Each structure stands twice: as C-alpha cells, then as structure tokens.
Amino acid sequence: MSQPRDYRLHEGTVIDHLPVGSAARALELLGLPREGSITVGINVPSPSQGQKDIVRVEGLFLEKHESDRLALLGEHITVSIVRDGAVAEKTVLDVPDRLLGILACRNPTCITNEEQVQTVFLKQGGFPYHFRCAYCERVSATEA
C-alpha cells in the first residue's frame, strides 16, 4: 500500500513541539479551520519530547497576539514560516513577561471584568505559567 503524500506546506506555518493533547486547543485559539488545508499530527513520536502534537496550516501567518497565546500552551513550541516550500524562518515561542490584552481575569470581582480596559498580566516564574493580574493582583494558573 502506498503511503499518503507528505503534507508539506507551500506557503504557511508549522506549529511544532506542541505538548500532547494541545493541538485541538491550538486550532481553537487560532480560530481554525479557516481557508487553507490543515494537517494535524497527534501523539507524533519526537526524539526530544517522547511524543508531541504538530499543526501545519497552509496560507496562515501568525499575528503577535496569536503567537503570544499559543506560547501559553507549553514550553519549546516552535513556529516555522514556510515560503515557497522551504522554511524561511523558525522561532521558539516565548511567553512575554507582560501579556497585554490577551487574557481575561478569572477573578469575577476584578475591575477589568467591568470596565473597558486592556488587561495586563505579569508572568510569574516558568512553565506551567502563572500570571498576576496587574489590577486585582490575583495570581492564577492559565491554560491559555
């Protein structure tokens, strides 16, 4: 039996080294599927992680607020931008120390849940990340 064709991208983005089980959440965060073919690998063997998830999206190029959100899913997630069938740029996602406007505060009595204000969260320590709301000062764990 012949193997399916290799799902190489022509123009698009490969999100690799996602923790196992996070591919679906990654698609949800990015509002996918949209147009363009998507291939998703789940429980893919990985020399460095044992297993990983991987998402390849044709025609997608991430905005900063999207990569900031993806970064919350795990450590060492990589994003490769593919142009003309070749990797043009590869970055390891990093969670910024200050997250601006991309998370909502879990504290129901936080002022940010009442007023029109951009949220500000300060990263506390390493993965799994905890964030301190700059307004109500509560620290919470965040599954992106």
In this complex, which beta carbon is closest to other proteins, that of residue 86 or of residue 117?
117
CB neighbour class for 16 (10 Å; exposed up to 12, middle 13-18, buried from 19):
buried
Q: What are phi and psi of 85, to 5 degrees?
A: 80, 0
Among other proteins, Zn ion, none, the one that 116 touches (CB under a kind-dependent 5 to 8 A) is: other proteins
Contact 25, 142 (CB under 8 A): no
Q: Among other proteins, Zn ion, none, what binds residue 10 when CB lies within 5 to 8 Å by partner kind?
A: none
Cα-based distances in Å from 132 to 4, 70, 81, 109, 142:
47, 19, 32, 15, 10
**Contact flags string 72-111 toward other proteins, x per CB under 8 A:** ---------------------------------x-x-xxx
What is residue 13's three-state secondary structure?
strand
Output the smallest distance, CB 100 to other proteins, in A: 13
Which position among 81, 135, 140, 142 is part of the footprint of other proteins (CB under 8 A)? 135
122 binding partner (options other proteins, Zn ion, none; Cβ < 5 to 8 Å by kind) = none
Please give the Cα distance from 22 to 70 (Å, whole number).
10
| Residues in touch with Zn ion (CB under 5 A) | 105, 107, 110, 133, 135-136
